[in-house]
Every structure is written in C-alpha cells, then in structure tokens.
Structure 1
Amino acid sequence: MRALSLRSLASAVFGSVAIFASAQTFSIPADEIDITGAKYLKSSKRMLLPSVNVEVMNWGKITSVVSTSALQSLGGAKNSSARSTMEVAVPSNVAMLRGVASELYDDLATKLRAAGWEVLTYDEAKSDPILSGIKQELTDAKLGAPVRKVNLGKQKMNYTIATPPGMPAMDPGMTMPMFGLRSLLKARDTHSLETTYRFDPIAMQGERRHGIGSNTASTSAAANLALAHAQATFVTNKTAFGWVKIKSPIPVAGDVGEIKKAADVSPKVANALSEALSFLGPGGSINASKGLYIAELDEAALKANLLLAGKAFNDEIIKGLGKPQ
C-alpha cells in the first residue's frame, strides 16, 4: 500500500467539520519518561539543533482475524473463521504541520537557552558542508512531504513528516542520522539533538470473540489524538549518545473530529478523495472501497493539541538533559 496523497484534501475536509475540541492541560507522567546517557553531556555546554520532526498519521489500516480455537474443536465446534479490516484516511495539511514543527523548534531552543545551554541553530550551522550534505528523507511528490511507514503486523500506519521550513528531514539510514555529523560536532565542540514528535489523530482497535457456535471479528476507530512516540536523541562531541523518550503512547485529546464511511462524506471531499487516493486503482472511487473511512478533523483543535503535547515533551527534554556543567 503506497502512502496517501492528501495535501489537496486538507481544506475541503478541515473546512467541513464543525466539532471543536479545545486544548486542555496536558502533562507527561514522570514514570513514562526514559532517560539514557545524560551523564555523557558534561563534555560541552553547546547544543546543535539541526531540525525537529513532527509526524502525524495520514493513513491507518487494522485487521482483526479469529479462527476456531483448540478448545472449541475439542468441544465439537466446526471450523469458523472471521476477519474484519478497516482503513482510515487522514488528510494532511502540510503547511500547518510545518508551522507546528517551527513553533516546537523555537520553543525547544528557548527552553534550552533558559536552562543554560548555548544553542547552535540550523541557520547558524547550515553553511557547513557536513550539515548541508546530510542525507534526507525522500519527499512524496503528491503529498509534498516525506512519509514514514510503520508496520505492526495487524496494524499499519503511514505518517506525514513535517520539519520547520527550510530544515532537513534527516534520513536515519542504518544508524541514527546524527552520526553523520560527528566531525562537525568535534570541530565545533558541540552536542547535537534531534527530536521527533509522532502523533496518532485516530485510535484504531480490533476485537476477536470466540462464541459457542461461531467466531466474530470487528474493527473500529475514533478521532482521539495520542502522542504515539516522542524521542529526543543526542550525540555528543565525543560521539557518545543517549535519549529522552516516552515509554508508551499517551492520550492527548478526545473528539478532535469525526470518522465517516468514505461513501458518506460530502461531495466536495468525495471528489478530492477519488482523485487523490491512487491506491484505489484505475477507475476506482471511494464508493467502491467498502472498508475505507475518512477522518474529518478540526484543524484548530488538532493544531492546538499538537503544540500542547509537543511543548510538554520539550519540558521533559530539558529535565532529562539537565543543566550544562
């Protein structure tokens, strides 16, 4: 399944939603934070911020499968299997996401300086050929941004990757991308910090049930936003590394939109979807894809809560790194 090309859908979908879930307070429990390697930061008081990544799901698919259990067979039950699959497309407003990434980058830089770090920004270091030549993620031509693909077996997701305008989305390659900056870090006597904030604006789940006479499988989704993954990875001027990250997904806000069957969305959205969802194939339309749903999100609610959760994680980064010594 290829990544969805949803840039052209954003205004149609976001503009049709009347629901608004205002940003509320959000904090990350202390026991949900994993800090590794902070002791290695003593070798410099300077921190390079090459970029930040804001990743937001643009497509998700979940499959639930159930078959006759051994216990059912022993009881004389006939073979009975069930399968349910659900796909949800989530339009991406790439410009809005880049704005969120820019605000989170500035917020992190400000908080690092307040903690006593000397911050070396991308603009201040971009003339260095090592940084300007770092390998970047490939951009999806239709979406206008790179796409991250995550496969968890029965659940698959694609994420739009947004960075501050003009800053790189660094390709992780076989190792973390900042290892390619080692000579720059040594020459400038600086550490480097790259942060990823990954969000799921929909929650998908599958259920399986073994019955007396038959088995059932079902799938469902709700427009609830979660901070699925957040990690700030650092490489020091002496090539040690470590991170501050959350241990598991954390709910951020509920009711940030609606999820509808593709055939039930407005004609304006339907026409845009039929043109953009290339995985439907030649002659395909959203009415022909029975398992496809569309998440109609409230852009204001989404943006406010992305910033709320991202800035809360920035606070945890500062706590985890500590003050320069």
Structure 2
Amino acid sequence: MLAGLLRSLSDDVAIDLGTENTRVAVAGRGVIVSEPSVVAVDLGTRRIAARGLAVGHLAKQIEGRTPSDIEVRHPVREGVIADFQLCEAMLRILLGKTRQSRLRLPPRAVVGLTQTATEVERRAIFNSVARAGARKVFGWSKAMAAAVGVGLPVAEPTASAICDIGAGTAEIAVVSLGRVVAARSVRIGGQVFDQALCDHLKRHRRLRVGLPSAEQLRIAHGAAQSDDDEARAEVAGVDAATGLPRTLAVSRAEMAQALAEPLRKLADAVREVVESLGIELAADLARHGLTLSGGAAQLARLDRFLSDQLGIPVQLAVDPAGAVIRGLLTCAEHLDAWKSALVSVH
C-alpha cells in the first residue's frame, strides 16, 4: 500500500548519462531533457558559471570561446564519471527541468551502465544520481537498453546483436531470451574519430584543428568508406608551420583514410564478440545481422564497412542516437516488472 502511494506521488525517470550528451526521460511523458554533458566553471569561485546555470546547451555554446577565468569541463569521459561533484551538479539541474511540481516526491531512476564499468565506477554513477535528487537508483546495461530501444526481439530464443556507438565508448552485445549472452565495451566512439581526424590533418596536411571543428567535419562529411575524391568540405584551423589561420578542403576518401585505424579496431571488437558465440547463435546473426545505434553510428557507410568486414548484414537503426534512452524509458515505465534485470546499491 505504501509502495503504491509513493508511486502515485513521484515519477520514474530514465537517465542516459553520456560522454557527449545526457538525456532524461519521464515515464508517461517521454524524453524531457537532451543536453550536452558539459559544465562551465568559474575558476575564481570554483562554482558553475552564470549563477549556476552554465550547464548543457549554455555551456556548450561558450566552449572554446571563454575568458581565462571560465573553463568548460566534461564531467563524463568514456562513459564513466570523471568529476563527481560537477556531474552531480549537472544532473541536479537537468533533473530539476523534469519536475512539474515541488510537491512531488523525489523520483526513482534507471540509469544506463557500460559493460566494462567497475564496481567503483558504478557506485559513483549511483551516488551522483542519488545526490542529484533520486530517491532510489537502478542500473541497466546500455547495450540491452539500446537493443530494446531499437525494437530488437530481445525476449525471443534467437540471437540479436547491437552495437551502440556513443561519443566515448562502443557497447557491443548479443542478447537472447532477455539476457546478454556475449558483450564487450571498447573505448571507441565519436571523440576517438574526431581525434583521429585532428591527428591526420596535423600529420599529413600540416593543419591544426580543434576537436569541435573535427566533430563538425565528421558529422557533415565523414565516411567509413569512400573513393570519392571530388566532393570536398572545408575545415578551418591553424597552419602548423606559420601559426596563421588557414582553410583546407578535405575529400571523403581522405576522411575514410583518417578514420581507418579506429574503425578497424571497432570491427575487430565486434568480430571477437561474434566469434565467442555458439554455432546456433552465430547462425542467427548470419540471418538477422547486426544493428547499429548511437550518435556516432551515423557515420556514412559505416554499415557497409562493418558488413564487408564481418560478412553479416548490418543495418542502422531508426533514430540511432535515441536508442538507449528509449530502452531505459521502456524499463522505467515498467520498472517493477523489470527489477530482476536491474542492479542497485541503494
């Protein structure tokens, strides 16, 4: 009776705490918050700038353009918390945006976890979410959440494969009968792709570019495969020799060349997961293939590249960037039924 009363007076929320973006959804209301996982800090007071409001979109807008006494920081790196206090402050502000009334009790929260998160890293996530305002925190595999979010038949006695590529990590998993039967998490994602572009342009074209510019170039013009030397996109940076501003035209073929190494490592990681399966589960993947999700999975022709490397069908999910939060929201909306699949330290 008390549990039912608590549920009627509070919300159940889902939190996808990502390296690049944090999304918060509320059961029955959908995704309410989707903002960059960044915080601007006033170095003089060591507090969040703009009277405690420089979080998310506001902080992202000033990144790379701040005065010397303000620094933009990323509390989450490679899928785990890098700065506990800033992460807690960021989550408190973002969770506050989902509350419809101060009379509501603190919510229960389901948060996504990477496959390789240690017990210490998991506890840091649980503690940050709890201190940010949740009364109870549950954790669920991001890979399983992504599989549910893209609509894979995770409860059926057949293998379904998912590769969710975020900014910091790629979560690879094969699920069957509602369980993860093989999985791996690798620190390859959008930020690794962007760094590879920066390194390539500096080494081969003598142009130094910032990570935000490399990200824009990847999103607008990047490709995993291409022989197109004609279509080009301009990127601006600083000449490595003179230190003066310079622009450069980059072809899709050169982009694919720059991304070759991290893409090879991604393909090897997926191959290891597939090769660890039994014969029948592996045969399922020959028929059903691999589904890609996550923001960085939208790299052009990545599905073709992985299909060529692995010899199985590969398809990009609809709205791949929202896969994890959709899966977590499904769990939050049926939280009592899914509890046995979740972990909690509170």
Into which bin does the TM-score normalised by the smaller protein fall?
Answer: under 0.3
Q: In terms of Rg, which structure is larger?
A: 1
Structure 2 length-normalised TM: 0.24
Structure with more of its chain in helix, by fraction: 2
